[in-house]
Amino acid sequence: MIPELGHLALIFACVVAIVLGTLPLLGAHRQRQDWIALARPCALVFALLVLASFAALSWAFLRDDFSVLYVAQNSNSLLPSMYRFGAVWGGHEGSLLLWVAMLALWMLAVSVFSGQLPEAFMARVLGVLGLVAAGFLIFVLFASNPFERLLPVPDNGRDLNPMLQDPGLVFHPPMLYMGYVGFSVAFAFAVAALLGGRFDASWARWTRPWTIAAWVSLTLGIAMGSRWAYYVLGWGGWWFWDPVENASFMPWLAGTALMHSLAVAEKRGTFRAWTVLLAITAFSLSLLGTFLVRSGVLSSVHAFATDPRRGLFILALLIFVVGGSLTLFAFRAGQIKKQGKVDFALVSRESFLLTNNVLLVVATATVLLGTLYPLAIDALSLGKLSVGPPYFNTVFVPVMMPLLLLMGIGPMVSWRQADLAALVPRLRWAALLSLVGGMSAPLLFGDWSPLTALGLVLAMWIIAGAGFQIWDRSRAGRPALGWWGMQIAHIGVAVFVVGVTMVKGFETEKDVRMAPGDTVSIADHSFRLVGVRERTGPNFTAVVGDVDVLRDGKVIDVLHPEKRVYFSSSNPMTDAAIRTGWMRDLYVSLGEPLDGSLDGAWSVRIYDKPFVSWIWIGCCLMGLGGLFAMSDRRYRSRRGAKDGSPVLEGALT
Amino acid sequence: MSRYLFPLGAFALLVLLLSVGLGKDPRQVPSPLVGRVAPAFSVPELKAVGEQVSPADMRGRVWLLNVWASWCVSCREEHALLLELAKDVPIIGLNYKDQRVDARRWLEQAGDPYLRSAYDGDGRVGIEYGVYGVPETYLIDANGFVHYKQVGPMTRQVWEEKMRPLLKEMRK
């Protein structure tokens, strides 16, 4: 009964979304107030219906209703209840429902928090979101219905993929999807602007907090996924350039570019057509990611079920949303009137942000190319291949280097025309500090290589630059939250770079044979395998190793790496044990028992990963910076711009 | 307007690529077992206590090895088809990581398509065969060579288009 109610709610939601996607848009076009006024109530009803349907599916999971096919495929009566909740989005159908639920939440947020927007503009924004929602709901209802029943009812479910049975599943997908889907808001603002012909500074100011909010979610979502892969997959890696990872990384890169170009669009009124295009691109890449992940055209470690009909459906959706908006862009972008002539000098904030945009877009393109290349080769019947980390590392990293270099200076440079002579004395100290520090730091860790030194120099350059600015500005008064947000996020990037550089340069790894009582030394720590025992979990059996970690002969920690075999799967799962610290992670994972050894020996893998947690700390700082930036007072004030930036009303007329 | 058409053009190319790509299956990589002798095993029979099942018993016949479990949902999808195929070709079941009681009850309820059922409670045979997920079905010839491996439920389409032509060839 409850699943049917959930299904019904989804059908109603689809109808409401179709109404929302048509009448308010037409109303805004014909200036009919009654149709425009439909937008907010429709968005509210839509959101409630979708959330009700989502609750119904969760209920089916919690109550072990295996008569629902999707529940039977992704749950089991032994599955702990926390994972049951995560299992709601553990498969294809549920994760699409999560997608729609996130869209509903964003629509709700837009209709609640954007009271200051003109009604017609608001109607267009919600209408566009309604169209996207309708497209997805039709897909869910016709090709991925999570409420489908299964007869005869099985005694038990197939269980959730063991790799997903981790707290990471509960937090990572919702956060990631919130980011993915969040770019739909910037997209809707862009399309609404194209429809209404309004591209002024206030348009950019309205769009900024929404873009930053989506970007924060995506940043944290990607970081969580990376952390999850780090401790679950047992390989000790944190990023694999897997197609699914790339699918989330491309919108992130485009979204980062969008955040920066929006700053120019708001403050200086230039880059406007470009900004609109970026907003469309960021969301299009989110949709493309959904297509790549959900259609199964690319194989990946994330191994989702494939069904060509679904792929076709998402492709149609992609053509409708992206093709439609780009067509609109082709016809209307020409009307975005230039603000006189381009009036910024070679050395100015504008030119720095322009370079930032070019570099980020090139980076996005390299990732896109690497991700789609195997597909193109297969499509042209030239064989099957996969593009791996070597390509991405050689192509992507060099594009990022100049970006980091510019990041240290960019925020100091003033708009329109910067005084180079005034910049140099300040930069001199930052440059000296970072060169000396970055070049010598690797020596402390015993091994100097040019790439490690370069990474550290760049990171210190950014931190030194930010330090000088904070020192300067906080003496001159209280900078706005947005300014602090930028500094924090940039420092976050530097912290991230330190983590990546140090792990890359100084990680050590040992694959050893260990019998109980054996000791292995790595990076002034010793590891002693005390013994191996068996343990039974709720839906798995595990072999647990007890490993003492010693330093200077004293036991400082006991680690418990596990090898689990879930009742429902043949592949054993490695659950690594990690001792996390500021300076290093010590990482132990159990390999295989060595057959034929009389002393019960195992193959054991031990890693020393210096500074690896800085990678995620850096991401958290970026997210925190974003939170600061989006809570800046300016975004809450009514129309007028109080910070002296020019207000460009009616630029199209 | 013309320069604003570039993004649309690029997108059109992308769509072209994606639509061609949809027709391809990235997972269609040949199993390492195909063309090799099916790994030997000898495990207890599921129902007849005390008896052993081994691929060697099937020497001289063309047969299917079907990996299944009572907890496996997709196995239910293919079950009706297996019952039908059993009239045409002998099927050996490999009951994988299951409880004997559950497995027997399921066969009693739904019908038993298997000539014999091997019981692989700890999944050891599954590892030999590189079972990725249940169900899987192998087509094995009179000399014990694997000719085809179906990952996921058997469908009529797979049977008619892939396995049956091979079977005819092998029986000649």
d(CA B172, CA A446): 70
Lowest mean pLDDT among A89-93, A553-557, A628-632: A89-93
Provide the token pair at A107.
């629509």
Coil, helix or strand at residue B34: coil
Report the CATH number at residue B158: 3.40.30.10
A570–B132 C-beta distance less than 8 A: yes
Residue A170 near residue A83 (C-beta atoms within 8 A): yes
Residue A76, min C-alpha distance to chain B (Å): 9
Residue B3's closest chain A neighbor by CA? A330
- List of residues 6+ apart from A259 with CB closer than 8 A: A208, A211, A212, A215
Of B22, B72, B73, the CB nearest to A315: B22
d(CA A169, CA A231): 13
CB atoms within 10 A of CB A316: 16
Residue B50, min C-alpha distance to chain A (Å): 25
| A contacts of B19 (beta carbons < 8 Å) | 315
**According to the model, what pLDDT value does residue A569 have?**
67
B71–A157 C-beta distance less than 8 A: yes
pLDDT tens digits for range A351-391 = 999 999 999 999 999 999 988 887 787 777 766 666 777 88
Residue A151, min C-alpha distance to chain B (Å): 9
Of B24, B131, B133, the CB nearest to A378: B24
User: How many residue contacts between A and B have a Cβ separation below 8 Å?
Assistant: 107
Question: Residue B14: inside a domain, yes or no?
Answer: no
SS3 of A231-276: HHCCCCCCCCCCHHHHHHHHHHHHHHHHHHHHHHHHHHCCCHHHHH
d(CA A41, CA A19): 11
Best residue in B70, B73, B97, B128 for a mutation probing chain A (most A CBs within 10 Å): B73
Question: Residue B5: inside a domain, yes or no?
Answer: no
Question: Residue B10: inside a domain, yes or no?
Answer: no
d(CA A224, CA A244): 14
Residue A291, min C-alpha distance to chain B (Å): 9
- Band of pLDDT at residue A338, cut at 50, 70 and 90: low
Residue B120's closest chain A neighbor by CA? A570
Q: pLDDT above 70 covers what percent of chain A?
A: 92
d(CA A104, CA A54): 11
ipTM of the complex: 0.82
In the predicted model, is pLDDT for residue B24 greater than 70?
Answer: no
Of B11, B76, B131, the CB nearest to A322: B11
In the predicted model, is pLDDT for residue A638 greater than 70?
Answer: no
**According to the model, what pLDDT value does residue B36 have?**
83
| B contacts of A69 (beta carbons < 8 Å) | 73
Mean pLDDT along residues A288-308: 63
Best residue in B71, B122, B125 for a mutation probing chain A (most A CBs within 10 Å): B71
Question: Residue B19: inside a domain, yes or no?
Answer: no
Q: Pairing between strand A519-522 and B43-44?
A: unpaired
Q: Which of A150, A142, A130 is nearest to A307 (CA)?
A: A142
The full DSSP string for A505-553 is HH-EEEEEEE-TT-EEEETTEEEEEEEEEEEE-SSEEEEEEEEEEEETT
Q: pLDDT above 70 covers what percent of chain B?
A: 92
| A contacts of B157 (beta carbons < 8 Å) | none
User: Length of chain B in residues, anyone?
Assistant: 172
Exposure class string for B92-131: b at 16+ Cβ within 10 A, else e: bbbbbbbeeeebbebbeebebbbbbbbbbbebebbeebeb
d(CA A54, CA A38): 24
B15–A319 C-beta distance less than 8 A: yes
The CA angle A223-A508-A554, to the nearest 5 degrees, is 100
Residue B1's closest chain A neighbor by CA? A334
| A contacts of B131 (beta carbons < 8 Å) | 570
In the predicted model, is pLDDT for residue A162 greater than 70?
Answer: yes
Residue A639, min C-alpha distance to chain B (Å): 30
Residue A245, CA distances (Å) to A290, A301, A389, A443 in order: 11, 10, 12, 34
| B contacts of A334 (beta carbons < 8 Å) | 1, 4
In the predicted model, is pLDDT for residue A648 greater than 50?
Answer: no
Of B7, B20, B102, the CB nearest to A329: B7
B23–A73 C-beta distance less than 8 A: no
In the predicted model, is pLDDT for residue B26 greater than 70?
Answer: no
B102–A322 C-beta distance less than 8 A: no
B127–A570 C-beta distance less than 8 A: yes
B123–A319 C-beta distance less than 8 A: no
d(CA B22, CA B146): 29
Residue B22, min C-alpha distance to chain A (Å): 6
Instruction: List % helix, strand, coil for chain A (3-state, nearest 5).
Output: 65, 10, 25
A216 vs A634: which has the higher pLDDT: A216
Question: Residue B57: inside a domain, yes or no?
Answer: yes
Question: Residue B22: inside a domain, yes or no?
Answer: no
B97–A298 C-beta distance less than 8 A: no
The full DSSP string for B89-130 is S-EEEEEES--HHHHHHHHHHH----SEEEEETTSHHHHHHT
In the predicted model, is pLDDT for residue B46 greater than 50?
Answer: yes
- How is residue B39 annotated by DSSP? P
Question: Residue B54: inside a domain, yes or no?
Answer: yes
Residue B17's closest chain A neighbor by CA? A376
**According to the model, what pLDDT value does residue A571 have?**
66
pLDDT tens digits for range B122-133 = 778 888 887 766
The full DSSP string for A377-434 is HHHTTS------HHHHHHHHHHHHHHHHHHHHHGGGSPSS---HHHHHHHHHHHHHHH
Question: Residue B29: inside a domain, yes or no?
Answer: no
Residue B96's closest chain A neighbor by CA? A570
Number of domains composing chain B:
1
Q: Taking all residues of chain A, what is their mean pLDDT, rounded to a whole number? A: 87
Of B11, B26, B132, the CB nearest to A323: B11
Residue B59, min C-alpha distance to chain A (Å): 28
A157–B73 C-beta distance less than 8 A: yes
The CA angle A639-A643-A645, to the nearest 5 degrees, is 80
Residue B136, min C-alpha distance to chain A (Å): 13
Residue A87 near residue A60 (C-beta atoms within 8 A): no
User: Length of chain A in residues, anyone?
Assistant: 653
Q: pLDDT above 90 covers what percent of chain B?
A: 17
In the predicted model, is pLDDT for residue A422 greater than 70?
Answer: yes
Residue B128 near residue B39 (C-beta atoms within 8 A): yes
Q: Find the domain containing B64 and state its range.
A: 35-171
A155–B71 C-beta distance less than 8 A: yes
Q: pLDDT above 90 covers what percent of chain A?
A: 51
Mean pLDDT along residues A48-60: 96
- List of residues 6+ apart from A596 with CB closer than 8 A: none
- Band of pLDDT at residue A277, cut at 50, 70 and 90: very high
CB-based burial label for A514 (10 Å; 0-12, 13-18, 19+): buried
